[in-house]
């Protein structure tokens, strides 16, 4: 089994149970030296999509799951990996038990654009359900977002 580091809506254990039912929660941790951002607004139906980019001054809360190969294929389909929307990379995650290697999805597009308020709410709810620190959840809820009916930037 491989460890998967979820930083967006897949942080929600209930969602992951539906998308990858054979992938138990392994724990939580932080991507040190990475920043949560958004991009690919022309790809997403509801504004820009979540991704992570390297940034030595930042960190991103993640939820780790033990993912068998057959669930990994299901997640790839959900995340649009076969369509080139996201690609997988290996990352080092800091946990209370030490560093672990995991894979995560990164957007295969340029950074920029605003997510919808709905999408940010989904991410904040997922982080809260996963036990992210209150200040992390609050920062997600207070990020700038696209207004309803606003054209792409």
Residue ranges for the binding site?
4-9, 119
Q: Which phi and psi angles does 129 have, rounded to 5°?
A: -60, -30
**Could you tell me if 22 and 71 are in contact, meaning their C-beta atoms sit under 8 angstroms apart?**
yes
Closest CA to 122 of 64, 46, 21, 40: 46
Residue 65 contacts residue 86 (beta carbons within 8 Å): no
54 belongs to the catalytic site: no
User: Cα–Cα distance between 83 and 92 in angstroms, integer?
Assistant: 26
- Per DSSP, 150 falls in state P
Annotated binding site for substrate: 4-9, 119
Which is catalytic among the residues 14, 54, 74, 79? 79
Tell me which residues are annotated as active site: 79
């Amino acid at each position: 089994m491989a460890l998967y580091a979820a930083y967006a809506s897949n942080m929600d254990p209930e969602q992951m149970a539906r998308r990858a039912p054979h992938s138990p929660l392994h724990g939580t941790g932080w991507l040190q030296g990475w920043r949560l951002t958004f991009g690919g607004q022309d790809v997403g139906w509801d504004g820009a999509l979540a991704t992570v980019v390297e940034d030595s001054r930042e960190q991103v809360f993640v939820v780790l799951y033990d993912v068998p190969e057959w669930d990994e294929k299901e997640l790839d389909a959900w995340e649009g990996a076969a369509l080139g929307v996201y690609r997988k990379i290996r990352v080092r995650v800091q946990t209370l038990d030490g560093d672990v290697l995991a894979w995560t999805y990164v957007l295969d597009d340029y950074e920029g654009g605003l997510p919808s308020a709905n999408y940010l709410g989904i991410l904040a709810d997922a982080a809260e359900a996963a036990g992210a620190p209150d200040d992390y959840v609050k920062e997600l809820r207070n990020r700038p977002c696209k207004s309803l009916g606003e054209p792409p930037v």
